[in-house]
Amino acid sequence: MVIRAQAPDYSARIKILYGAINNKLKEPGTNFYFETTDSAKNENKHAWLWPLCALIQAANEMEVLEPGQNYLQPVVNSIQRYYSDKPPLPAYQDYVFKERVSSRFYDDNQWVAITCLDAYERLHEKSYLDKAAMIYRFMMTGWDTAAGGGLYWKEGDRTTKNTCSNGPGILVALRLYQYSHDKALLQSALDIYHWVNKNLQAPDGLFYDAIKIPSLAINEKKYTYNTGSMLEANTLLYTITRDTAYLREAQRMAAAGRAYFFKNNRLPGEYWFNAVMLRGYAALYKIDKNRAWIDFFKTDAERVWNMERDNHFVGTKTAPRLIDQAAMIEIYARLQQLNR
């Protein structure tokens, strides 16, 4: 008889981390969050948009585990404070709009759109689809023919096109296509996909960080989240087209990513990057049922909980960060879903 080890209680861990966020990283009586627990040393009064990109996805995954609970709406309300309607098109800026006018990043907006599309799939509330469509229109203002195409990273900054603003852009376009069947959306996804593969894919199947404009110099740094978004893009293209070339490419990337990033039984230290990578591996696992795509994430998630946790917070920073708590909530929630 085979005795299986008992699965960790991921739900209990989620509740601990979520409680820590609400107790120490949320401003009492408001919809604002803090960057870290050390507000005196934070650059801003409130959090940047980036950690809220992590928190909104974490909240969505919590509602997947607990249908009917209201984890998502408070984060949606907070993100709405970052809304900017400045020309050429509305989108979310990287800091609270009423406190100051600041930059708008294409990738920040794309992560919000991806969660909105996940929420729309669950709840069928049109407001989520409308937000994602708004962000798609905004992100496409970041496309031009420099370096042959591709989306810039930051509005108004024409010096760099990054995998992190193109990989999730593919996902936004493909997910919108699944609901509208507008072939222009599929074509824009394919245009971005082929551009990234041509300009930023390494020989091993993983992805470099960015191409500089106009020099075309490549920043060859590799990050887990870039693997995650492009891996998920291939699984989604396979789902839509049933072309097995996309599935084979996803499996090639998944094997390469595990070999490159999972060293000494651990993943690199940016939890949220790893959460995005898990999205891609989970999508592939749902297709080919290869447990190897999930098991190493479980190993790393255990290491974080056992070795990088202080009381109710996870992380290696002196002041616990909102993004780290949100990222690990997402990871534990997705692992719990895969245990079902």
pLDDT of residue 255: 98
pLDDT of residue 126: 97
Enter the tokens of residue 190.
């394919």
311, pLDDT greater than 90: no
Distances (CA, A) of 288 to 238, 244, 251, 269, 332: 12, 12, 9, 28, 21
Residue 57 CA to residue 282 CA, distance in Å, equals: 15
User: Which phi-psi region, left, alpha or beta, contains residue 103 (left: φ > 0; alpha: ψ -120 to 50)?
Assistant: beta
pLDDT of residue 40: 87
Mean pLDDT over all residues of the chain? 96
234, pLDDT greater than 70: yes
Enter the tokens of residue 251.
């499996």
pLDDT digits (tens, 9 = 90+) for 157-170: 999 999 999 999 99
pLDDT digits (tens, 9 = 90+) for 93-103: 999 999 999 99
Mean of the pLDDT values across residues 193-206?
98
Q: What percentage of residues in the chain have a pLDDT greater than 90?
A: 95
Residue 60 CA to residue 81 CA, distance in Å, equals: 19
pLDDT of residue 2: 38
Residue 39's pLDDT band (boundaries 50, 70, 90)? confident
Does residue 3 form part of some domain? Answer: no
Domain span including residue 20: 10-338
The alpha helices in the chain, defined as continuous H runs, are: 10-24, 49-65, 72-80, 106-123, 126-139, 163-180, 183-200, 224-241, 244-261, 271-288, 292-307, 322-338
pLDDT digits (tens, 9 = 90+) for 251-283: 999 999 999 999 999 999 999 999 999 999 999
3, pLDDT greater than 70: no
Residue 274 CA to residue 228 CA, distance in Å, equals: 8
Does residue 166 form part of some domain? Answer: yes
pLDDT of residue 7: 78
Does residue 202 form part of some domain? Answer: yes
Enter the tokens of residue 207.
């992805």
In this structure, the strands spanning 152-154 and 91-92 are unpaired
pLDDT of residue 146: 98
Which residues does 152 contact at the CB level (< 8 Å), separation at least 6?
106, 142, 144, 158, 160, 161, 165
8 Å CB contact between 234 and 256: no
The SS3 call for residue 159 is strand
Does residue 1 form part of some domain? Answer: no
Does residue 141 form part of some domain? Answer: yes
Mean of the pLDDT values across residues 76-84?
98
Distances (CA, A) of 46 to 24, 81, 323: 13, 11, 13
Mean of the pLDDT values across residues 2-31?
87
Does residue 231 form part of some domain? Answer: yes
Residue 1's pLDDT band (boundaries 50, 70, 90)? very low
Does residue 289 form part of some domain? Answer: yes
Residue 243's pLDDT band (boundaries 50, 70, 90)? very high
Mean of the pLDDT values across residues 232-250?
98
pLDDT of residue 5: 58
Does residue 4 form part of some domain? Answer: no
Model pTM score: 0.96
The total number of structural domains in the chain stands at 1
- Look up the CATH number of the domain holding residue 160: 1.50.10.20
Residue 209 CA to residue 270 CA, distance in Å, equals: 15
How many residues are given for the chain?
340
Distances (CA, A) of 121 to 49, 117, 146, 236: 23, 6, 35, 15
Enter the tokens of residue 208.
């470099």
Residue 300 CA to residue 304 CA, distance in Å, equals: 6
